[in-house]
Amino acid sequence: MNRLAFYIGIENLEEIKNMDNLYLKARLLADLLFAEKKDKAGKPYVYHLYRVSDKMTTLEGKVAGLLHDVVEDIKTPDFPELDVTFDDLRDIKIPEEIIEALQLVTKTPPPTRFFIQTRETKLLLPRNRYHYRK
C-alpha cells in the first residue's frame, strides 16, 4: 500500500493518482502533506514549496519544486515503515525524470557504520549487517 494514504487518506490518494494534470497533482499533494507545517517564521511551510516551484522554468522543474521535501520531511519517527518513499511517488504516476531530480536534492541519513581494525587494514562495515566482537 502507498504510504501517502497514511498522511492524506485513501480517497485523496486515489484522487491524486487519477489526476492527469501533473502540476495540479503535485500542488494538491504538497498542500495536503504540508497543511499543518509552519516554517521558522510561523508561516505555512507550503509557501516555501510554492516559491521554489515558481523559480523553475519547466513543468518538470515546477513539479520537482513542489515535491522536493516530501521524501525527506514526511516521516513518522516512531514508525519508520510509514516514511514516504520515491516508490510511493512513482505509484501516483510522478514521472521517473522528476523522481531522479528529487533523489538528487533529497538528504538521506548516512547508514550507521563502524570500523574493525585488523593488522593489515581497517574495514568499514555497516553496523546492522555485521557484529563486532573484541
Q: Residue 126: inside a domain, yes or no? A: no
Q: What is the predicted pLDDT for the residue at 52?
A: 95
Residues 59-91 have pLDDT tens digits of 999 999 999 999 999 988 888 889 999 999 999
pLDDT for the residue numbered 131? 41
| Cα→Cα distances 50→23, 28, 31, 61, 65, Å | 11, 12, 10, 12, 7
User: What is d(CA 76, CA 72) in angstroms, rounded to the nearest whole number?
Assistant: 11
Q: Count how many domains the chain has.
A: 1
* Parent domain of 71: 4-105
* pLDDT in single tens digits along all 134 residues of the chain: 899 999 999 999 999 999 999 999 999 999 999 999 999 999 999 999 999 999 999 999 999 999 999 999 998 888 888 999 999 999 999 999 999 999 999 887 655 444 444 554 444 444 444 443 43
Q: What is the pLDDT of residue 64?
A: 96
At CB < 8 A and 24+ separation, what contacts does 68-77 make? 68/102, 68/105, 68/106, 69/34, 70/29, 70/30, 70/33, 70/102, 71/102, 71/106, 72/106, 72/107, 72/108, 73/34, 73/37, 74/4, 74/7, 74/33, 76/6
**Residue 129 domain flag:** no
User: What pTM, to 2 d.p., does this model score?
Assistant: 0.78
Identify the pLDDT of residue 110.
53
Q: Looking at the domain assignment, is residue 49 inside a domain?
A: yes
Record the cell numbers describing residue 133, joined without a space.
566482537
Q: Is residue 131 part of a domain?
A: no
Residue 121 lies in a domain: no
* Assigned domain for 26 exists: yes
CB atoms within 10 A of CB 98: 23
Is residue 53 domain-resident?
A: yes
pLDDT of residue 109: 60
Is the residue at 118 inside a domain? no
